[in-house]
Chain A
Amino acid sequence: MGKEKKRNAFRIKDYTSYFITIVIFAYGLIMQMTGHLKRSDSTLLVQIAYGIILAVSLNLVVGFLGELSLGHAGFMCIGAYLGGYIAVQLSGVIANKFIVLLLSMLIGGLLAAAAGLLVGLPALRLKGDYLAIVTLAFGEIIRTIFKNLNVFGAAMGMHTNTIKYDGGGKTSLYIVTFCVVLVMLFLCNNLIRSKHGRAIIAIRDNEIAAKAMGINVTFYKLFIFVFSAFFAGVAGVIYAHNITPVMYSAFSFNYSIEILVMVVLGGMASVNGSIVAATALTLINALLQKNLSGDLASFRYLVYALILIILVIFNNAPVFAPIQQKISPRAIIARARAKKSKPGDIPDEPTDWRKVPTKIKMDELLSTDLQQDKTFEPDKPEKSGKGGE
């Protein structure tokens, strides 16, 4: 047994997210090298990429911070309009498309982040339903403003310089976009695994307890809102470079819900899940849009609705808890591992020790299930024990 193995040794599971992204990216590259990449595929790849960016950044707020944001499309809208506008202005000054793209991404992201700060401020006082409504209201306000400003083409939409796919050229948007995805994944993964990430998860689990432990709740809430808005803005800038004209109607409340579906389908607080779900839903969307038309197109939304309702009820309802424990992928993997290892083997990872099969049911002995509704009952009631909450 490798006794000297350090705890922060290379673990494959830490790098799954990059791996999935690189596989999708590599598919595009191979297709391009063999000359099979069509223009529509290149556009689709970009859509997948900004879908991933949106889903992962929304998951930071919904899954990790535990606050529902329904205005993610609003931040994207800011990025798309302002970033696109700046790109058009810059392209007159700077000839290199690549630099224009990067600069506009940075500026669009920062502007969206500023808006994120603005929305983050109410988030300090509100939570749950109220915050969700405020973010929704905010998204609608943004859309109404852009709809009526003549600088941005008002109701006709704003024309942007798209970066066109040109054969084997270097300016293919999807290559840059996937690099942005990788950078974002790097930042997110490191954030989540750092002490800051644990602080954020602590806030989600119990804000008051987290505050009592000395976590700066104000700072972290604002930080996550700004961070997430920044990447939504970047996704918006990419959108503006992919599709023209930029229309305010694309960033409606429905789009925010679509991103939320990606997060819920992939799993709350699961970066890998968000990536897979964003990819899958974008592909399915593209397929359905090609094949369904007219009123049949609303079947797409029916499916979204059912995904939301069924998954959330199944994952949260107390009734389904026993079934869920049996069939969740994590439980199946744990069981498979438990079968494989012999009783004498002790794994290197301290976190895996609990998976060692024994006859004593340690988990049941050690853990006491504290549920919100039920008060904790000690085994032996003391005579002078003070009851109550």
Chain B
Amino acid sequence: MSILFDGLSLGAIYALIALGYTMVYGIAKMLNFAHGDIIMVGAYSVFVVMQRAKSPTDAFLNVACGLLLSLFICTLFGVVMEKLAYKPLRGVTPIAVLITAIGVSYLLQSLAQIFFGAKPHSVSLPTLGTVTVAGAKVSLSSIVTLVVGAVIMALLTWFVSKTTTGRAMQAVSEDRGAAQMMGINVNKIISVTFAIGSALAAFAGLFYLLQIPTAEPTLGSMPGIKAFTAAVIGGIGSIPGAMIGGVLLGVIEKICLSIPVIAPYTTAVEFSLLIIILLVRPIGILGKKRREKV
């Protein structure tokens, strides 16, 4: 039971990251490899605030400040990254864009290493303790992650389906050329997408710190790749798909970790799942099929 809860909250983190991947992939048609490192940027922002804040009395105020700063910095990084690195490459071969994205990911990691050092810093977040749910001990941070994650996802779904900007995003992902003809500012929409994706990554960064309270330069790369796996499992480009995929992957990871024989091979299991899904059903659970034209 506690495994299930842990899995769900880990899944909520994966889902938040996967949403960033899937939105950017759906709209800009590119795999933003550096998305995982935005989580790292967010985690370091929280770390900086928690380190500066000397008054332990108002722990929750500190966390709120940390979250605000990390939201701001992540969004800024996301938008600047898009403008500088990806915008010049719009419309060229996907392989060039992907290599640039890998470069950006590396750049962020090495910058973090230069500024903060390679060794992990522990972040002193307030401990929330545990509660007993249905006879099992569950840490409160898992429940917070789960609830906040669910609220954010509900908000995002509402935003995409009801607001003008959200609908414009849907239109751009459907057919960029046609959307442009309808008077949608495609560049602006892509920037907005990156901003939202990065803001979600900032939340994911904070939640990640709640689970593992250390910040290090390579913190984002593994969750990043796993969240991409989640996005693929759910069907890339589909927002509900990313949520389902994320939660599924989180639960699978925790179940694997709880079985001693499989535990060391958890990463291998998850990645094998990715390969199998891509081979059997490349469009994922909720993805749509696209025809390729000459």
Contacts and interface: CB of A to CB of B under 8 A. Distances in A.
Interface of A: 62, 66-68, 70, 121-122, 125-126, 128-130, 132-134, 136-138, 140-141, 144-145, 147-148, 206, 208-209, 253, 257, 260, 264, 294-295, 298-299, 301-302, 304-309, 312-313, 315-320, 372-373, 389
A136 B225 contact: yes
A145 B89 CA distance: 37
Contacts of A298: 110, 113-114, 118, 217
A309 B85 contact: yes
Contact of A128 (B92, B95, B228): B95
Given A128-B95, A130-B282, A313 B265 contact: no
- Which of A122, A253, A301, A372 has the most chain B CB atoms inside 10 A of its CB? A301
Interface string B1-45: 000000000000000000000000100001100000000000000
Nearest to B91: A373
25 contacts: A66-B95, A68-B99, A121-B279, A122-B278, A132-B95, A133-B31, A137-B274, A138-B271, A141-B271, A147-B264, A148-B264, A301-B110, A302-B106, A302-B110, A306-B103, A309-B85, A312-B89, A312-B103, A315-B96, A316-B89, A317-B88, A318-B88, A320-B88, A372-B91, A373-B91
Contacts of A304: 103, 106, 110
Contacts of B89: 312-313, 316-317
A91 B111 CA distance: 46
B282 A125 contact: yes
A144 B228 contact: no
Contacts, number: 145
Given A122-B279, A309-B103, A302 B228 contact: no
A301 B118 CA distance: 12
A151 B227 CA distance: 32
Nearest to B115: A295
Contacts of A302: 106-107, 110-111, 114
Interface of B: 25, 30-31, 85, 88-89, 91-96, 98-100, 102-107, 109-111, 113-114, 117-118, 217, 221, 225, 228-229, 232, 264-265, 267-268, 271-272, 274-275, 278-279, 282, 292-294
A257 B106 contact: yes
Contacts of A264: 99
B268 A318 contact: no
A144 B264 contact: yes
- Which of A68, A144, A298 has the most chain B CB atoms inside 10 A of its CB? A298
Contacts of B109: 301
Given A148-B264, A298-B118, A317 B92 contact: yes
Contacts of A208: 292, 294
A151 B92 CA distance: 46
B21 to A, nearest CB: 10
Given A144-B265, A318-B92, A373-B91, A305 B271 contact: no
A305 B106 contact: yes
A70 B98 CA distance: 11
A316 B114 contact: no
A62 B96 CA distance: 10
A312 B232 CA distance: 26
Nearest to A126: B278
A318 B279 CA distance: 34
B113 A295 contact: yes
Nearest to A212: B294
B103 A130 contact: no
Contact of A125 (B30, B279, B292): B279
A206 to B, nearest CB: 8
Contacts of A137: 225, 229, 271-272, 274-275
Nearest to A130: B278
Contact of A68 (B98, B221, B279): B98
Given A129-B31, A306-B107, A308-B103, A62 B95 contact: yes
Given A295-B118, A302-B114, A134 B99 contact: no
A148 B269 CA distance: 13
A141 B89 CA distance: 32
A313 B88 contact: yes
A212 to B, nearest CB: 9
A294 B89 CA distance: 35
Nearest to B279: A122
Given A209-B294, A301-B106, A309 B271 contact: no
A128 B94 contact: yes
A122 to B, nearest CB: 6
A129 B93 CA distance: 11
A303 to B, nearest CB: 9
Contact of A144 (B30, B217, B225, B267): B267
